[in-house]
Structure 1
Amino acid sequence: MNRSTLSAACALVALLALAPADARCASLAHTAPENAGTSPARDDAPFAIQRIAAFDRPWAIAFLPDGRLLLTEKAGRMFLLTQAGARTPIDGVPAVYDRGQNGLLDVAPSPDFARDRLLYFTRVAPEDGGGALVLARARLDESGGRARLRDLETLWRQQPAGPGGQPGGIVAFSPDGRHLFLTVGDRMEPDTAQDPDAARGKILRLDPDGSAPPDNPMAGQPGIRALTWSTGHRNPYGLAFAPDGTLWEHEMGPRGGDELNRIRRGGNYGWPTVSNGDQYSGRPIPRHATRPDFDAPSLYWTPVIAPAGLAFYQGDVFPAWRGSALIGGLRAEGLVRVVFNADGTAHQADRWSLGRRIRDVAVAPDGAVWVIEDGADAGLLRLTAK
């Protein structure tokens, strides 16, 4: 952003009394977010790729403390896997609305899984009018060589239902394990992202039992307000805590403007009022720089990479990556590594072309990186140092 653009943006804020301009403008003057969309991909990846198994339209992977994996398929199937690829179907998964981007979504073991055996998972459930995003938990029971979900509980259910995609549905636990964060997309109803009473375009913060924590920004208010941590999100398919405890999220933009956002309590990230992309019709959307009252991304991509999956690396297999964020790219067909500066700004350090649409990424207890491809006959891949 040049000085004249910054001055105009700050003057506009002051004129319209949208928010105190001085703090926001000082932040803007400090740094403008990097556009990493034009950075070329590299073919010389520092890792070897091993194809472990294949699945039909997988959506998420997560590791258990013992090193086994959980994997979901959008059609409503969940598996327990060894690292050698031996799979055990997990029975008891409830019905899903398998249309377009909807279906069975994320899965995350409880922070105390070794004791309570609880799995938290999201799905778009079939309802009149389409489907509703649902957060549930159940106990993983293993006996007789089989696995099953038992004691199923619905913790939160989106209302109203709708036919649109962009459900979000990513789960992340706070580092202390006391709270659960959930991304909720706009379901292709953009204006709802700025409606405080709409269960769309938000990041929610819940207690593990689904109740509203008393220190949420709008605690005590009715409905979705009590659960809302941040708002103004479009299509959030990445959510994770950095080693320093900062919560990061990424979301797909429209025609341009994929975002990596540092999430703060009560933040508003601007969608659909502002974006660094435009409508698919070509109609322009005001840029983040014109509205410093909204939270701007720390990094963005135009052209898009279609980010999916987000994990922070702390292992020993790739010591140079410690503290980095790893992001899968659907459109980019590869893996992106992001590093963070001391002032909190983000920089794309690497983008590797894998020639595959990457749907999710996770780090194993031994430090190897695992990714899954998108689509039919999609590979589960293990990345290790060459």
Structure 2
Amino acid sequence: MVLVGVVTDGSMEAGEDSLRELAALAETAGSTVLDGVLQRRALPDAATYLGSGKAQELAELVAAVGADTVIADSELAPSQRRALEDIIKVKVIDRTALILDIFAQHAKSREGKAQVELAQLEYLLPRLRGWGDSMSRQAGGRVAGGAGIGSRGPGETKIELDRRHIRNRMALLRKAIREMKTSRDVRKGQRRARKAPSVVVVGYTNAGKSSLLNVLTGAGVLVENALFATLDPTVRQAHTDDGREYTITDTVGFVRNLPTQLVEAFRSTLEEAGEADLLVHVVDASHHDPLGQIDSVHTVLADVPGTESIPELIVFSKADIADPVDLAALVSRFPNAVTVSAVTGEGIDELRETIAELLPRPHIDVDIMVPYTHGALVSKIHEFGDIDSETYEESGTRIRGRVTEELAGALAELGLMGGSSPRA
């Protein structure tokens, strides 16, 4: 396949970066990139995206290299796609369709699959007219099995459905997703009831989030050198060195120009970030533009309610393959960041210590006598409190330390909170 992009603002280097990312996306989808074309214009051509002259040059390049697909590095209007196909005589898809295709490959849970299909149908609905001719052509991208990029998920048969049937299907999917969200909220409520602090791992796609989660928890999460290898939120338990329990959640990777359909569809994943006690922002230190990736993640997080007040810990991953000079510059710019390598183990202990320091701690001082008949309460204080001393006396267990507000409330109900006070 051949990639094509239009640079309307910024430098050509930024356009080349975006095209390189598009190439990585195409390879993740299972295709081989043969060449790329980048053009600077004030605006993309309203008719053919590139302009008629450049489009003809693209047609000659496609014929010369034997490509069967062209991918545009932005979202095309239906008329632009059809006009470009008429000139170059092969299938044309855009960046949004490519990302949707990758999500269709990688979604595993029922909710993830439903969200992907809904996003694909939202993308497809305004583009129904004219897709029939395109889909009758040979599927592009040379993907194993002959499906081709842009033809997974709802697929050719659904594209032939009329708008009424697609809208009905979308309504059913939205209803199913709402019901699945209710179940997910119940599980989330159960975790909250246990009052374990929450860490959410965010970052650019393929930044090393899942590898880090495996090292910290032994979770056995899929680790793959591909974009969007993780789509469904993965929640695991972890413990600080002093025994405090917390949950750690892996989330879908971010990417520049993430399709709006998918931002909405995967709101469930992003909601986890908005309810965290700590955001661990993983950045690939070996990438040629880590600062651009950081900005992209911050741009998406800015649209997630609640994240603006949550502490953020930046973690530079893949230190074993990063350029030492570039890494030193990053550390200088972000002095509170932690540098790690999931392969060599470098910085992992420091990361665990830093997470423990940033997690909320119990802050209400207690000096209480818990009757032996309330052993379960002592277990909760061990799990969610900080104990300075514990002695066993005739009337019960004497505990001095700190507890959470929830535990303090439970102790107060039993009349055990006499001289206790919140710590400043």
Q: Give TM-score, length-normalised by structure 1.
A: 0.27
Q: Which is helix-richer, 1 or 2? A: 2
Q: Which is strand-richer, 1 or 2? A: 1
> Higher relative CO (CA 8 A, sep ≥ 6), structure 1 or 2?
1
Q: Give TM-score, length-normalised by structure 2.
A: 0.25
Higher Cα radius of gyration: 2
